[in-house]
Amino acid sequence: MQSDCCIDVADAFAKRFGRAAVAVAVAPGRVNIIGEHTDYNDGFVMPAALDLETRIAFAPRDDGAVRIYSDVVGEEVQFAFESAAREKLPFWALYAWGVGMSLLERGITPSGLDAYVETSVPQGGGLSSSASFEVAVAIACLGDKWTALDKLDLARVARRAENRYVGTQCGIMDQYSIVFGAEGHAVMLDCRSLESRLISFPEAAALVIADTSVRHVLGESGYHERQEECARANSVLSSSLPGVKNLRDVNMPMLEGKKNILGDAVYRRARHVITENARVHEAAAAMTAGDLARLGALMSESHLSLRDDFEVSCRELDVMVESAAGLPGHFGTRMTGGGFGGCTVSLVDKSSAAAFAGALRERYQAAARLQAATTIVRPGGGARLAKPRETGNA
């Protein structure tokens, strides 16, 4: 059955462009349950797609032009993929243009189109709003032929857009989990082999996402600095330890042996990656066993490592984590996403989720003097193409 949200965006398209949308490209956001800053180190992650979505109602154009309106920023942009001048596009439109250019690199000519974009994924909150937008744009550009592109290639196209055309050197976790997500499951992903398996999310649990209201832009934050520090650690370790290609190949005794030549900061960055990879494996086992207490404890340990060793947290994230501790039904909380702001994710007993979310907002406001938005979620399905209704405006 077509969702009301897809009907709404198709109606909004018809009102703006004066014709019917042929379909709606839908791509979820994602929450990373555990495994932060390990993806670009060939490590392990365990994200889940969300039931928060980017939806793009669209209809193809014969002239190759792109007209795309974003309800998020209230702006329409017009361009052609091959002839667009990068410097003349607003930042948000670079993602759409980059997707088309990434498709062209693969020998696929994207369709011109009219498109109307809306989303329920918080912007800049660490829930992959940009990757969600990229994947939805790719599906819209391909239309009914989108399934002819291998799912992994679809994720790679979206990641390429962000790496080359936007300039954020992210790993593939975000795009991969958005494409491969499955309702009621987390995705355990090996970022080196790009092999994954689905793990059933416990029925008795829910995830509560809490938005600190503090925003970051990855390209202007310490994200790239952390990547460079990990690269320096890898350079030292791979040049002196046999069999080491990346930090995922290093264990703690190996790292301790090189501590003096790495320097304190680089050593701690590497320590986070090594211990976080181990936590992901433990968390997968705990989730499989339905051991919510252990899974929550690992999430809390992950936050401490991100705060102290990787130094990508901030006061507001820490206050949110501290505010969650001890609330009824709470198992564990951590920051999620690149850091320096955004959201936390808490593992809670499903029956206590609403009460937990309300108490968390109150505690956070009292401690941080800021309003927090909370959303109760469970893992949702992956990206898809939805057909608008046959009646009405669409």
Exactly one of 11, 114, 174, 249 is catalytic; name it: 174
For 188, the token pair is: 């355990």
Q: How far apart are CA 374 and CA 199, in angstroms?
A: 25
Cβ contact 373:213 at 8 Å = yes
Q: How far apart are CA 376 and CA 355, in angstroms?
A: 11
CA angle 372, 374, 376 (to 5 degrees): 170
Q: How far apart are CA 142 and CA 148, in angstroms?
A: 9
205, containing H or E segment? strand 205-211
Measured from the Cβ of residue 144, the count of other Cβ atoms closer than 10 Å reads 11
Q: Which residues contact 305 (CB under 8 A, 6 or more apart)?
A: 271, 272, 275, 276, 279
For 260, the token pair is: 């003096």
309 labelled catalytic: no
Q: How far apart are CA 294 and CA 145, in angstroms?
A: 43
Phi–psi pair at 323, nearest 5 degrees = -70, -30
Q: Annotated active-site positions, please? A: 174
